[in-house]
Chain A
Amino acid sequence: MLAKRIIPCLDIKNGSVVKGKRFGNLKYAGNPLELAKRYYGQGADELVFLDINASYEGRKTTLSLVEEIGKNIFIPFTVGGGIQTIKDIRKILNAGADKISINTSAIKNPAIIKKASKQFGSQCIVVAIDAKRNGKNWEVYIEGGRKPTGIDVLQWAKQIEKLGAGEILLTSIDKDGTKEGYDLELTKKVSETINIPVIASGGANNLKSILDVFRKGKADAALAASIFHYKKFSIGQVKKYLLKNKIRVRK
């Protein structure tokens, strides 16, 4: 059976890894290639790169970075951020990424999910949802968590699956960078609503929070950034802890 995946996430701006809190307050967190190699060496199951550049020049830098990273690590990696067209997707995949992640453009133009899955295969199309709690439900936010859409997260997740996406990367805006633990209720609801894998993101703080997101949140993969960037834990430590708690992981 499948192992649960541990996925470090690198937010990249102007060639550096940065990390914020609740989608703001960015701070320098390292060199992308160095971090990618470190995590590969520690046994990361995948890597996710989110390009948070706004400029064209910045995006070009990210593309050459993708090429460089592909030559050095031999696990799957996903690139997201600012992707709008099929042409953008092709460029990133051609540079060596295995999957792409779309967010805002999927909400604005859901047809791109269908078109991209058909052309490149469902397996390489990840749709990212930035979710914020709104009473008993969760609402989808776009444009880096700045803009509410009025769309319900569970409804959107169902639609994403129907349109052919291969995975959902689910980030809790309320928990992002807070170190309060993942939003377990949100993760569980989404994971049980759809039949494609869910990568939980936002809030990882200690070993138990990662155990919880698998056990209680029913996530297929856990994404984390700060705890790895700032060396609170290595990926090896996380996996050792999970194994001890009877969660299947790749050693």
Chain B
Amino acid sequence: MISIIDYGAGNLKSVKNALDYLKADCRITDKAADIQNADRLILPGDGSFGYMMENLEKKNLITPIKSFIRSGKPFLGICLGLQALFEESEESPGVKGLGIFRGKVVRFQKGKIPQIGWNKIIPAKGNIFREGYVYFVNSYYAVPEDKSVIVSVADYYGDFASAIECKNVLAMQFHPERSGKCGLDILERWLQC
């Protein structure tokens, strides 16, 4: 069973719709027990960094998420769910992130902000990603201290990390559930690994 974390915002339904389409058992939940006993965990995301962390804390979900990640079971962060894995974000100064990855989340400096639309991802390593267009909606992007966790990049007035991976944790800055066949294929490969 896959648990999709409900923290009171975000496009949970579209993540569930995509997994249903791929015939993967999943549920939307905000219960610690459902996180603990899930086989896979997804932290989707929309909204602001501060709003997300505040709500995860209010719902007492931070400890269960961290211990799930430590358990070694597959974890997937999407969009803000990627950014939340870092220590801090320029979007919400003073708010602590989950701190799974060292580094911070910064704002784009050029072009129209937010970046909204289809951008090409270039895989750097691993076997989840293929070169292709996926759907992004973000004003901020993560800058990991350890560059080796970057598994794919994209270009928005300069390269930025479009996906990161370390052991059981995979996270994408784009929305695979909204990226047509290219995105569904990525999710399917994640479900198989």
Contacts and interface: CB of A to CB of B under 8 A. Distances in A.
Contacts of B114: 122-123, 166, 196-197
Interface in A186-229: 195-197, 220-221
Contact of B178 (A76, A94, A195): A76
Interface residues of A, number: 34
B113 interface: yes
B46 A2 contact: no
Contact of B14 (A40, A96, A196): A96
Contacts of A250: 118, 133
Contacts of A93: 11, 13
A148 interface: no
Given A94-B13, A123-B137, A250-B118, A74 B184 contact: yes
B183 A74 contact: yes
A123 B138 CA distance: 8
A118 B91 CA distance: 12
Given A3-B117, A119-B9, A250-B133, A70 B48 contact: no
Instruction: Identify the interface centre among B21, B46, B183: most chain A CB within 10 Å of its CB.
Output: B46
A5 interface: yes
Contacts, number: 100
Instruction: Identify the interface centre among A70, A96, A121, A220: most chain B CB within 10 Å of its CB.
Output: A121
Interface residues of B, number: 38
Given A71-B20, A94-B13, A3 B133 contact: yes
Interface of B: 9, 11, 13-14, 17-18, 20-21, 46-48, 51, 112-120, 133, 135-139, 155-157, 175, 177-181, 183-184
Given A119-B51, A122-B114, A195-B112, 16 more contacts: A1-B155, A2-B156, A3-B117, A70-B14, A74-B14, A74-B179, A75-B135, A76-B137, A76-B178, A93-B11, A93-B13, A96-B13, A98-B11, A98-B178, A118-B48, A167-B116
